[in-house]
Amino acid sequence: MASPDWERILGVRFFDGAAPDAVDYITRVGGYTVVPAAPALVKIENDPAYRRALVEADLAIADSGFMVLLWRVLRGRTIARISGLKYLRILLANPRLHERGSIFLVLPHQSSREKALVWLGKEDFEITADDCYIAPKYFSCSHGSVSREERERVSQKRGYSIADDALVAILQSRKPKHIIIGIGGGMQDKLGSYLKHQLTYRPGIYCIGAAPGFVTGDQVVIPMWADRFFVGWIFRLLAQPRVLLPRFWSARRLPGMIWRYGSEMPEIRDQRSDVREQKE
């Protein structure tokens, strides 16, 4: 593949090309992919750790149809939209990922693991429960397996807001080539950044939030036509209105941000990190 094209939006360098090329890029060079949705993208104004995770990502894809539309209308520029769901489907279609030990999943719940194993087994992936990890609730680098001293050290080292020594130890031992992070709330991007800088080898890390659940049935099923026409969010909203309506409402700030800043990184308007992020 030739050198990829990029489009900088709100200081984040987004991939501007075909979905297969985006998948191929990380599978070849390693590093981590981020897929910021509109409600998460607005957090770059008040969450320094999150904005750092996006800016330092090896690949960011324009999953948000809302952002893509605003970029066209307000800035007169275009960027290829690649949904996290489409990205994941292309990634999982690679026969090499079917080999034992090739992939490792970080998931939010036990039910997520059970459904993922059933689905992947039907698709002939050689995967077991040991290839999955149930993530704790990451609250600003503060879950029980991390000491106070370690939390302070990691937080100060590169601005990380989470840490997970247990997960790092497992990955160092198993060394999977592909790590799929399927937790939500914006925490997957911070975890991907943390893992990239803690691991001694360079796997592909895919921070794609709820997308694994759309494939395995752990989340509401989104038809591919709905994903293609930017309306997958309607299916999600109908399935979880109380959870997602406040989250989607927060995206109302995005038009003003794109109009004001364009390709530039927004100014920090509140230095307090959002430490109450929940998993989807």
Instruction: State residue 103 phi and psi, 5-degree precision.
Output: -120, 155
pTM: 0.81
Residue 100 tokens, joined: 């034992």
- With contact defined as beta carbons under 8 Å apart, do 258 and 71 qualify? yes
Please give the residue that has the higher pLDDT: either 127 or 228: 127
pLDDT, residue 257, reads 94
* C-alpha angle 206-106-275 in degrees, rounded to nearest 5: 90
CB proximity list for 92: less than 8 A, separation 6 or greater: 123, 125, 215
Domain ranges of the chain: 11-261
Calculate the CA dihedral of residues 95, 101, 107, 111 and round it to 10 degrees.
90
pLDDT, residue 225, reads 55
pLDDT, residue 75, reads 95
* β-strands 59-60, 103-107 pairing: unpaired
Paired strand residues for 146: none
Supply the angle between the helices 254-261 and 65-75 in degrees, to the nearest 10: 40
pLDDT, residue 85, reads 85
Choose the weakest-confidence range: 38-52, 216-230, 266-280: 266-280
Q: Work out the percent of the chain whose per-residue pLDDT is above 70.
A: 72
Mean pLDDT of the chain: 81
Please give the residue that has the higher pLDDT: either 257 or 243: 257
Confidence category of residue 40, pLDDT binned at 50, 70, 90: confident
Per-residue CA distances from 36 to 49, 176, 181 (Å): 14, 24, 13
Mean pLDDT of 17-38: 92
3-state secondary structure of 127: coil
pLDDT, residue 218, reads 54
DSSP codes joined into one string, 166-233: HHHHHHHHH--SEEEE---TTHHHHHHHHHHHH-SS--EEEE-TTHHHHHHTSS----HHHHHTT-HH
Mean pLDDT of 136-158: 51
Residue 260 tokens, joined: 């004001």
pLDDT, residue 156, reads 46
- Block residue for tokens 């981020």: 34
- With contact defined as beta carbons under 8 Å apart, do 168 and 199 qualify? yes
Supply the angle between the helices 187-198 and 148-158 in degrees, to the nearest 10: 90
- CA atoms of 74 and 76, how far apart (whole Å): 6
